[in-house]
Amino acid sequence: MKIAHPSAEPFFLATGRGGCFCLFHPAQGACIGALVYVHPFAEEMNKTRRMAALQARALAALGYAVLQIDLHGCGDSDGEFGAARWEHWQDDLGAACTWLAERCGGPVGLWGLRLGALLALDYACSAQVAPARLVLWQPVHNGAAYLTQFLRLRLASDMLGEAESGGGTAALRRALAAGESIEVSGYTLSPALADAIDRLDAATLVPPCPVDWFDLVATEERPISPGALRVAQAWHGHAPVMHKVACPPFWSTQVIVESEALIAATCAAMRERAHAA
């Protein structure tokens, strides 16, 4: 027998560049908080839609209002991915936070996954109104390293198609630096977006609010990643609350994967935040 879930409210949030598709999950019962979900980059967004929906429902049942937004040029929102810019996505988050704050009448936090977590952190450090909290799922630590990893997908595709891939990622970076957009796994990456990602380092983005950082490991025996510890140390007195969760890399698996452990750990952390408030 299927468990009935309250229906999420779909709508388009008006922005200066068109509409961003959103799903609003109202809090069940008294609202104890609100979160805007910031999805990951490119194909990782599609791989993780199931987990995002499950977590949003679980948080709504806990009493959190959750707004899922497809950023400009992503998912069902207006615009093309190749025309997307990092600053546009920051504007989208600002519009989403404003809408949710007006709807719920209280402070709003951000919950991000992978590059979406780095975007949420970057936005929090520059926003006129700091988020109430940040919930970071397996955040990207370093934009340059992430961009290189993304560009390797192009090289792998070229090798499978027997296309010329001489020069490796260095050649692709030179093309971007020369103002050329490149296609990676069906996504057109603009030089401006690549440059913005390339410059980001989570260690330099000291958060202005409490942070729950979820480091996802292969097994319980594995320690928290050195990259996560490096960032936490760099933040000095603003170190995040670290949560280690054994969880498959659902953003990159061939099949859609769920993690009950991650959902439960996130709900437990958010319940504790609400009780401490």
- Segments making up each domain of the chain, as ranges: 9-141+205-276, 143-199
Task: Tell me what the pLDDT averaged over the chain comes to.
Answer: 93
Q: Evaluate if residue 272 carries a pLDDT over 90.
A: no
> What is the pLDDT, as a whole number, of residue 275?
74
> What is the pLDDT, as a whole number, of residue 3?
45
Sequence-ordered list of residues with C-beta below 8 angstroms from that of 150, at least 6 positions apart, any chain: 41, 42, 184, 189
> What is the pLDDT, as a whole number, of residue 115?
98
Within 13 A of 157's CA, how many CA atoms are on the CB side? 12
b/e map 198-209, b = 16+ CB within 10 Å: bebbbeebbbeb
Cβ-in-10-Å burial (0-12, 13-18, 19+) of 73 comes to buried
Fold classified for 9-141+205-276: Rossmann fold (3.40.50)
Classified as helix, coil or strand, 172 is helix
Whether the full predicted model's pTM is greater than 0.75, yes or no, is yes
pLDDT digits (tens, 9 = 90+) for 162-207: 455 566 899 999 999 999 999 999 999 999 999 999 999 999 999 9
pLDDT digits (tens, 9 = 90+) for 116-171: 999 999 999 999 999 999 999 999 999 999 999 999 998 876 665 545 556 689 99
